[in-house]
Structure 1
Amino acid sequence: MATLNQILAEQTKIIGEAKSSLEAAFKKPPTQAATIAAREATVADLKARVANLTETRAAVTRHIDQQVAGYQSEIVALEKLIEEDKKRFGDQPTPPRPVRGKGRGK
């Protein structure tokens, strides 16, 4: 059975080797494969964002088109009512609004 000092020495050796390998890896520039993989991941992320924005734009455009169509149908209906009123009552000018006096107690 190994003594505590032997176990600690072995662990220190393993940690030292791992530290050396990490330091060596940091000193080397990234590999071409890692650079390509990072760029591919960025492209995939950007494509997903474009797809989300395109879908959102389509939904917003649909919503605006529905609102415009609703307003246009309301305009047409009101214009028809105006024409019917003109036929019924003739082209009478709109009576002026009463003017309220300024001051207190009026």
Structure 2
Amino acid sequence: MPQNNMSDRADARTAQAVLSEANHAHGTRFQLNHRFDDGVQSGAWLLTDNSGRRAVLKWSPARAWARQIEHAAEGVAKIRAVGYPTPAWLAVGTSTDGFGY
């Protein structure tokens, strides 16, 4: 099996674990749909729920970023409040394995 295929599978397993914890912590029921091809860190995953609602999961494999991600949520909320056109963050947190999302 090619190396990138193995890391793609590992990435999908970790993304699923992070999403499961986020769903539990925030009372959501999103499912991984597919990984976007572009992006940095671990990339971004399209999520859907049973009602058809869509969202994006972004998480960082760098555990040291978890705290910064949580602090960034406050900044995103502030700039949105004054009209900056960026999507709202539905949830933010850190998985038990230390991955920020």
Query: With structure 2 as the length reference, what TM-score do the two structures score?
Result: 0.28
Instruction: Indicate the structure with greater strand content.
Output: 2
**Larger relative contact order (CA 8 Å, sep ≥ 6):** 2
Larger gyration radius, structure 1 or structure 2: 1
